[in-house]
Copies of this chain bind each other. A is one copy, B any other.
Amino acid sequence: MIVENYWKYFLVPLIVYCVTYVIYLWRNDKKKKIFGNSGRTERVEFDDSDLGEQDDLSPALPEDLAHIPLKPEILPTDVMIRHSREFYEKMNKRRSIRNFSSRSFPKEIIYNIIRTAGTAPSGAHTEPWTFIVVESMDMKEKIREIIEEEEEMNYKKRMGKTWTTDLKPLKTNWVKEYLTVAPYIILVFKQTHSFKSDGTKKIHYYNEQSLSIAVGFLLAAIHSAGLYSLTSTPLNCGPAIRSLLNRPSTEKLVFLLPVGYPAENCLVPDLHRKPLNEIIVEY
């Protein structure tokens, strides 16, 4: 009788617990097979898009994609050295600003800047990006309202003391005047996947890394045009802004960049960049 009770009241929940735990371990192991050692300290970061199998097996690019000769333009070595130095010197003058002038500029420049971003490489050439350019004051005000509301909560509740303390020297807070002052705002959405012409899912490999590289191109283009920006990553605002801008659920907001001229008397923090020997290791 005692043995019988023991079985019913103790072993049953224990067995249920063990089975659940084994299932959990097994599922985790399946993930590891794809993503490698998924321990936080070891794993290679990888976008967690759905990598599930599909029934159709037509590639996303044309199956008979031609491979054509590259026509490289080979420069003399001294010109290469000079170009690399000049490009560094130009890019080293770039500064992020938070204090914009309302002065506008021709939209053609915005078009060229976004065209440049669109030349970035992407996983299996999926080009997983949408650039939303906002010029309308009405829309800028709506975006500002969403962001300031979320940012106030971020600063006051979510980010914690370490984060807000780290931001203090940069003098930032949840008031984002530039959102309604800068002539243009570019919101950069990543596309986690899309659809092929036959309606099947097209997976966008490494979409977040590809998108961020494209934003690197975008920033270089903004700077090349003689304009200024601020690279921001609106925390927790994605769903509300996505819905405001009527973007599909396959897109997620990652970056927001105001673009324009600096305000008169614009100040920037007196930051310095690490010298080469602190960021390079040679073998």
Contacts and interface: CB of A to CB of B under 8 A. Distances in A.
Interface string A25-43: 0000000011111001111
A162 B212 contact: no
Interface string A110-149: 0111111111110111010111111110010000000000
A99 B234 CA distance: 40
A221 B92 CA distance: 12
Chain A interface bracket (under 10, 10 to 19, 20 to 34, 35 or more): 35 or more
Contacts of A121: 96, 219, 231
Residue among A8, A60, A62, A231 with max Cβ neighbours from chain B (10 Å): A231
A141 to B, nearest CB: 12
Contacts of A106: 77, 81
Interface in A41-66: 41-48, 51-54, 57-66
A119 B94 contact: yes
Contacts of A36: 235-236, 238-239
A57 B261 contact: no
A72 B228 contact: yes
A102 interface: no
Interface in A138-176: 139, 157-163, 165-171
Contact of A84 (B41, B163, B168, B224): B224
Contacts of A23: none
B221 A45 contact: no
A19 interface: no
Interface string A76-93: 010111011101100111
* Nearest 10 interchain pairs by C-beta: A216-B216, A212-B212, A36-B236, A9-B9, A84-B112, A65-B169, A9-B10, A75-B226, A44-B238, A84-B225
